[in-house]
């Protein structure tokens, strides 16, 4: 049984706690919360990249214009634009663009279409790797342009030799990348699929191909650059129309403006085709984690 003294002490302690609690609540209720600083909205990464690209293009044109005003004897941007309008009015620009695009797209499409299955076979089957890899590595060390004189002698000076060297450049770049993509597939993914009862065909279609797609598209982008470089050199040697042919003719007459026009056209066409491949990559590899 508690003594009256202890009961009184306990009651006073409870009253003090209640007083402290109520005073603290009242104090907190009387103080208005400090407003938080407004959060800064981050700029859309695509918009930011567009701004960077615009700054880069303007800076590049400004540097070019500045160099043209020196003793380098370069044509100024207005002179190049005027020459482009002149070539367009004469119909030469359209003719050259169609001729060059036809050669590039034909050789690039054939090379990529053949390189992908060959790369898959090399990466999936060891005997095929042993049969194909020595020859692919052998021809990969030889620039396609080094074979152009031999190709011209064997195939003539028509469209076939130009398309062939473009095909070879695209094929060698894409087949190595595809092969590397297949052999880089993680073994744990393949073993997990086998444990779940998947057959080789299912594993190849559902695991290997998706995992290799980023490598394939990178190889196609590299092959596209090689195709354009090979095309210009091939047209310098044997062609009657094309962007490279027009540059060769302009070189004879020291027409720097025409050379600049065709260089810019090649760069724009290559950039557009590369962006198409990037867009395709984003659609096909949406599952891939990106920075």
Give mean pLDDT, residues 220-245: 84
Q: So what's the pLDDT on residue 204?
A: 78
Q: Quick check: helix, strand or coil at residue 186? A: coil
Q: So what's the pLDDT on residue 105?
A: 93
Alpha carbon of 267 to those of 146, 194, 264: distances in Å? 24, 47, 5
Q: How many CA atoms lie within 13 A of 25 on its CB side?
A: 6
For residue 106, tell me if it sits in a domain. yes
Share of residues in the chain with pLDDT > 90 (%)? 26
For residue 67, tell me if it sits in a domain. no
Domain that includes residue 192, residue range: 98-284
Rounded to the nearest 10 degrees, how much is the dihedral formed by the CA atoms of 243, 246, 247, 248? 130
Residue 275 confidence (pLDDT) above 80: yes
Give mean pLDDT, residues 171-189: 85
**By mean pLDDT, which of 37-46, 157-166, 194-203, 254-263 is the weakest?**
37-46
Q: So what's the pLDDT on residue 211?
A: 84
**By mean pLDDT, which of 18-22, 55-59, 118-122 is the weakest?**
18-22
Q: How many CA atoms lie within 13 A of 122 on its CB side?
A: 25
Alpha carbon of 232 to those of 145, 228, 245, 272: distances in Å? 10, 6, 8, 17
**By mean pLDDT, which of 29-33, 185-189, 287-291 is the weakest?**
29-33
Residue 221 confidence (pLDDT) above 70: yes
φ/ψ (deg, to 5) at 239 = -165, 155
**By mean pLDDT, which of 15-24, 27-36, 209-218 is the weakest?**
15-24
Residue 258 confidence (pLDDT) above 90: yes
For residue 242, tell me if it sits in a domain. yes
Residue 67 CB contacts under 8 Å (≥ 6 apart), including other chains: 74
pLDDT band at 189 (very low <50, low <70, confident <90, very high): confident
For residue 81, tell me if it sits in a domain. no
Q: Quick check: helix, strand or coil at residue 271? A: helix
For residue 8, tell me if it sits in a domain. no
Q: Which class for 239: exposed (0-12), middle (13-18), buried (19 or more C-beta within 10 A)?
A: buried
Residue 188 confidence (pLDDT) above 60: yes
Q: So what's the pLDDT on residue 100?
A: 92
Contact yes or no for 164/151 (Cβ under 8 A)? yes
For residue 137, tell me if it sits in a domain. yes
For residue 175, tell me if it sits in a domain. yes
Alpha carbon of 177 to those of 107, 108, 205, 211, 216: distances in Å? 18, 15, 18, 12, 6
pLDDT band at 36 (very low <50, low <70, confident <90, very high): low
Q: So what's the pLDDT on residue 79?
A: 93
Give mean pLDDT, residues 256-263: 93
Interatomic CA distance for residues 234 and 242, integer angstroms: 10
pLDDT band at 50 (very low <50, low <70, confident <90, very high): confident
Share of residues in the chain with pLDDT > 70 (%)? 83
Residue 194 confidence (pLDDT) above 70: yes
Specify the pTM: 0.75
Show contacts of 81-84: CB within 8 Å, 24+ apart: 82/257, 83/255, 83/257, 83/258, 83/260, 83/261, 84/261, 84/264
If one counts the domains in the chain, the total is 1
pLDDT digits (tens, 9 = 90+) for 71-103: 788 899 999 999 999 999 999 999 999 999 999
Interatomic CA distance for residues 246 and 231, integer angstroms: 13
Residue 23 confidence (pLDDT) above 70: no
For residue 192, tell me if it sits in a domain. yes
243: domain CATH number is: 1.10.3720.10
Contact yes or no for 246/92 (Cβ under 8 A)? yes
Q: So what's the pLDDT on residue 30?
A: 46
């Amino acid at each position: 049984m508690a003594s009256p003294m202890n009961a009184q002490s306990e009651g006073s302690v409870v009253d003090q706690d209640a007083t402290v609690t109520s005073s603290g609540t009242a104090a907190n209720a009387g103080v208005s919360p400090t407003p938080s600083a407004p959060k800064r909205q981050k700029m859309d990464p695509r918009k930011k990249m567009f701004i960077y690209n615009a700054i880069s293009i303007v800076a590049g044109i400004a540097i070019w214009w500045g160099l043209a005003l020196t003793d380098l004897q370069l044509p100024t941007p207005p002179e190049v634009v005027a020459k482009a309008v002149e070539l367009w009015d004469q119909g030469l620009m359209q003719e050259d663009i169609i001729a060059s695009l036809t050669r590039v797209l034909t050789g690039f499409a054939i090379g990529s279409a053949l390189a992908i299955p060959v790369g898959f076979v090399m990466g999936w089957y060891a005997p095929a790797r042993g049969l194909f890899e020595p020859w692919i590595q052998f021809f990969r060390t030889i620039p396609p342009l080094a074979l152009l004189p031999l190709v011209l002698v064997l195939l003539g000076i028509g469209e076939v030799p130009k398309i062939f060297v473009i095909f070879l450049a695209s094929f060698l770049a894409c087949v190595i990348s595809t092969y590397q993509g297949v052999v880089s597939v993680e073994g744990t993914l393949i073993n997990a699929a086998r444990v779940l009862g998947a057959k080789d065909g299912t594993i190849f279609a559902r695991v290997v191909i998706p995992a290799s797609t980023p490598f394939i598209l990178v190889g196609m982008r590299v092959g596209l650059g090689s195709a354009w470089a090979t095309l210009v050199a091939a047209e310098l040697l044997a062609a009657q129309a094309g962007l490279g042919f027009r540059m060769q003719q302009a070189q004879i007459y020291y027409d720097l403006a025409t050379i600049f026009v065709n260089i810019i056209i090649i760069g724009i066409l290559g950039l557009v085709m590369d962006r198409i491949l990037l867009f395709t990559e984003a659609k096909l590899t949406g599952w891939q984690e990106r920075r």
